[in-house]
Amino acid sequence: MAGASGPRSTSRVNRSGGVLRVALEDPHDAELAIAVVEVPDGDSICGSASNRRRWSEDLHHVLDARSGTPTRDVVAAWAGGPDAAWADGLATAAFFASDLSGTGHWWAALDRDRRLVAHGLPGEVFA
């Protein structure tokens, strides 16, 4: 999420009383957004990317438990949910699962070739 995360993944709950528009940060250029989503009052959003919490080119914070190595295919993921814990879990799952549409909530994953795969994204994707 552009400008919101600092050095770690970030979850936010919208308690504004209205719709909150959130830019999804481009992990290749933190000054740009790849999309904007609308988060309704009471819903949460979470995002995580391999450009955050990175210690070297090949070492970042999203690890594949099967191999113990950082993920390579997905470079960023975002999700919405009823609370921050749900959104955070769904965003993390989007690094590993190719289809999370059965969760009932929106999610998006950007792969290393800059292809965005998403389900129910409540906003606009920039080409």
Cα 53 → chain centroid: 14
Residue closest to 120 by CA, chosen among 92, 89, 81: 81
Number of domains observed in the structure of the chain? 1
| Structural domain boundaries, residue 23 | 10-125
Residue 68: both structure tokens together: 């113990």
Residue 80 in any domain: the answer is: yes
Judge whether 3 lies within some domain. Answer: no
In tens digits, the chain (127 residues) has pLDDT values of: 444 444 444 556 777 788 999 999 998 898 999 999 999 998 999 998 877 766 666 766 677 778 877 787 888 999 999 999 999 999 989 988 878 888 889 999 999 899 999 999 999 999 6
Whole-model pTM: value is: 0.80
Q: Are 95 and 110 in contact (CB under 8 A)?
A: no
Q: Kindly state whether residue 1 falls inside one of the protein's structural domains.
A: no
The enclosing domain of 49 has a CATH number of 3.10.520.10
4 located within any domain: no
